[in-house]
Structure 1
Amino acid sequence: MVTSRNARSTTLALATAVVALTAAALPFQASAAPSGSRAALPAVTAHAETPALHDDEAGGDADADDPAIWRDAADPERSLVVATAKQGGLRVYDLAAREVQSVPAPAAPGPGHAPGRFNNVDLVHGLRLSSGRADLAVTSDRGGDRLRFYRIDGSRASRPLTDVTDPAVPPVFSSSQDEIDEQRTAYGLATWTDKATGRSYALVSRRERTTVALLEIVPGAGGKVSYRKVRSLDLPADFRLPNGTSWSPCGEPGELPQVEGMMVDPANGMLYAGQEDVGIWRMRADLTGTPKLVDKVREYGVPGTYDEETEECVAGADPGYGGTRLTADVEGLTLLTEADGDGHLLASSQGDDTFAAYDRELSDDNEYEGGFRVSAASAALDGSEECDGAAALAAPLGRAYPRGLLVVQDGHDAPGEGERPSTNFKFVDLGEVLEAVDD
């Protein structure tokens, strides 16, 4: 999702629905005082960037959004980055950030209906299919309210992805094509394999709603892949503030505060979900138990009034109930793992172009451990602004990234081309990121 900051504030909603939880029941520890301005955070620079993606002249949406990193165990130098380009489908890049494959999104099912629109992507490793074990790229198709699956074969240098989606996969949230066309559909995505059972799952959020659904990924005949819904959970849409008032993030009437960025820590089976204008939630990946809000955005509790004429929210006085590390939106979440097994939950603070890192240990209650920004390496290689998605892999990836790789979306690739959005992905040495966070 690439919009202006003012426009982003309009995409989150006034609370108009009953939700399963109340904010009064949710524990929260206030963050420490901020360590300084954005400029005070350490900076890292990208080593490479992908070609820019643009909206085409016919109005097609081909913006960069969310990446995932696949490691070729036989030859790490042939590892790949799989990324979403919205209506542009998927792009596959090598470690030099060169495009090696473009996979189109599905066409509209008929006149007047929405075409495919890929939002987020994640990976499943070693899924047992009827055709043998396979690694899969899984993407949320917001346009069709479905998940789609692509088998990864690194030996096919120019076409490593093959679509293995069962043609009969059902909509995730909608009951009809008319409801799909309203586009309150599959949005954020994280995959998870339960160590106890070996079963693989996808956690999927719903656009303009607070719902997160758990789907079991199911192998089918002929090497195809489908899914079945296990359960869902609704996060709050309104919150009780310390002064006794109720608050909801401002947005267009009828929309609720959605979740997009999500990540599951495989060490403990905990899901982290970024509710964009609220903060970061932690909950069991099987969606049982009670979610906990582990950090808030700075704008939490700020009243706002939606202006129909300008289609923007007018903010009131800040009552001071928000956090100090994240500026809305909370976006791409990923895990930075270190060699000793320690690591950090990384979140994109989209509103101030920074990244915040939290301890992954539950005993430390996901304590904030530092932040950084991705700044320009040169006049030709800029940094990352308004980052939507991020992915990290802490494993050797050949000579270019011996300590691992962080890939982040850049919502304003420079130089841009006039009024056309210009977006891409930056490749950053993970070792440099860990050094910045640990400092």
Structure 2
Amino acid sequence: MTRPLSVVLCATLLLAACAAPAPESPLAQRIANATPAATVTARGETAPVGTPNADAADDPAIWRNAADPGQSLIVGTDKKAGLYVYGLDGKTRDFLDAGRVNNVDLRDGVGIAGQSGILVAASDRNDLAHAKLALFRLDPATAKLSALGKVDAGRGEAYGVCLYRAASATYAFVVLKDGTVNQVALDMSDATPRGSIVRTLKLGSQAEGCAVDDRTGMAYVAEEDVGLWRFDARAGGSATPARIAAADGRNLVMDAEGVAIAPMGEKDGYVLVSSQGDNAYVAYRLSDHSYAGRFRVVDGAIGGSEETDGIDLMLGDFGPDYPGGLFVAQDGHNATAAQNFKLVAWDDIVRALGLAR
């Protein structure tokens, strides 16, 4: 029996509607709009943090053992519980119950109570109204952390932290959640550390990730919904920020999160930023702040990384798996396990982006 044309048209339209793809997810739309990214895979990963079913792992810091690169260490935060120390095999070497510590950084060769040591600093959020800087010593022989004490870091919620070793002093930049950045001069001469805020910098909205280039005295801070900024890190320097890159949805997709530096020569190298909004990482040249490329850490023998908060990067020999340097990224979706950190060879990133060595 011949059907009326109106029935045929309705049936055709219904079938077409059923066959139409579902609207793209917000993540798929952000990826589609962003500049294309190269891909790399992780060569290692850490054990998951101890806080399950939560946004818990946050920020890593790398210590390189120059005498025995394979024995290098990674310090990572569980921002609901404390600090972990991992070996390059990803196994947990230590855990210190430090409460709500959000970001972490470290410097080797710092004078601590008259002896040279590895200083670890974490932004302490145990009191949301009063920021603290929690300080620790890392023992490279035992991979153990010991608490040194806390110093005041201003009024507000401590969020990000990065250390700066100048010629005559060691400083910590403590980034408060509202975009305030307090520069704290550290006095580690006694068993009990002391600190004083020497100046205050300001961004307009929520900020967190930061890193300082000790060679040039420049501090880089990510304002999450706005972009990447540069400050003069010197205590007497200008407090006016210069914007390096905008979170424009193309090269850098908000939220802009972790920041890390790859120093090369006297002034050259790259600054890397976590482009959390599209699960990518962006590299900018330090020489002129031009865009150098972007990449993602995708699934391979080891899972990739997504929704990354903190990152760290250190160049140099880390053994046969990471001969040119090590990049560590927090993974916000670690399959069915708790969050962890992924380990990527810097050489793989260099090849993927065609960067200068």
Aligning the two structures, in what range does the TM-score lie when normalised by the shorter sequence? 0.7 to 0.9
Which of the residues 102, 108, 112 maps onto 1:125? 108
Which of the residues 223, 227, 243 maps onto 1:293? 243
Cα distance in 2, alignment partners of residues 374 and 39 from structure 1: 16
Q: How do 1:420-435 residues align onto structure 2 when only pairs under 5 Å count?
A: 422-435=338-351
Q: Is 1:367–2:290 an aligned residue pair?
A: yes
Q: How do 1:173-188 residues align onto structure 2 when only pairs under 5 Å count?
A: 173-174=154-155, 184-188=156-160
Match of 2:163 in 1: 191
Instruction: For structure 1, list consecutive stretches of 5 or more residues without a partner in the other structure.
Output: 7-33, 106-115, 175-183, 238-256, 299-322
Which of the residues 215, 232, 247 maps onto 1:267? 215
Match of 1:45 in 2: 41
Q: Is 1:146–2:132 an aligned residue pair?
A: yes
What code does the residue aligned with 1:121 have? V
Q: Check conservation: 2:34, 2:251, Cα contact below 8 A.
A: no
Cα 1:409/1:35, change in 2 over 3 Å: closer
The structure that has the greater radius of gyration is 2
Q: Is 1:212–2:193 an aligned residue pair?
A: no
1:282-339 residue CA offsets vs partner (Å, 9 max, x unmatched): 11013632211121112xxxxxxxxxxxxxxxxxxxxxxxx62111100110012347
SS at match of 2:153: coil
Cα distance in 2, alignment partners of residues 143 and 127 from structure 1: 26
Cα distance in 2, alignment partners of residues 278 and 51 from structure 1: 33
Cα distance in 2, alignment partners of residues 75 and 373 from structure 1: 30
Q: Check conservation: 2:253, 2:276, Cα contact below 8 A.
A: yes
Q: How many residues end up aligned between the 2 structures?
A: 323
Q: How do 1:263-342 residues align onto structure 2 when only pairs under 5 Å count?
A: 263-286=211-234, 288-289=237-238, 290-298=240-248, 324-338=250-264, 342=268
Cα distance in 2, alignment partners of residues 408 and 342 from structure 1: 23
1:205-242 residue CA offsets vs partner (Å, 9 max, x unmatched): 112x12100001111433x323111110222x3xxxxx
Cα distance in 2, alignment partners of residues 400 and 192 from structure 1: 29
Match of 1:309 in 2: none
Match of 2:14 in 1: none
What code does the residue aligned with 2:214 have? P
SS at match of 1:187: strand
Cα distance in 2, alignment partners of residues 39 and 374 from structure 1: 16
TM-score normalised by length of structure 1: 0.69
Q: Check conservation: 2:313, 2:325, Cα contact below 8 A.
A: yes
Q: Check conservation: 2:35, 2:250, Cα contact below 8 A.
A: no
Pairwise CA distance, 1:132: 1.0
Q: Which runs of 4+ in 1 moved over 4 A?
A: 34-39, 338-341
Which of the residues 350, 353, 357 maps onto 1:437? 353
**Which deviates more, 335-344 or 125-134?**
335-344
Q: Check conservation: 2:162, 2:211, Cα contact below 8 A.
A: yes
Identity %: 36
Which of the residues 158, 164, 172 maps onto 2:153? 172
The answer to which structure has the higher strand fraction is 2
Cα distance in 2, alignment partners of residues 228 and 271 from structure 1: 19
Q: Check conservation: 1:357, 1:437, Cα contact below 8 A.
A: no
Which of the residues 323, 327, 332 maps onto 1:402? 323
Instruction: For structure 2, list consecutive stretches of 5 or more residues without a partner in the other structure.
Output: 1-24
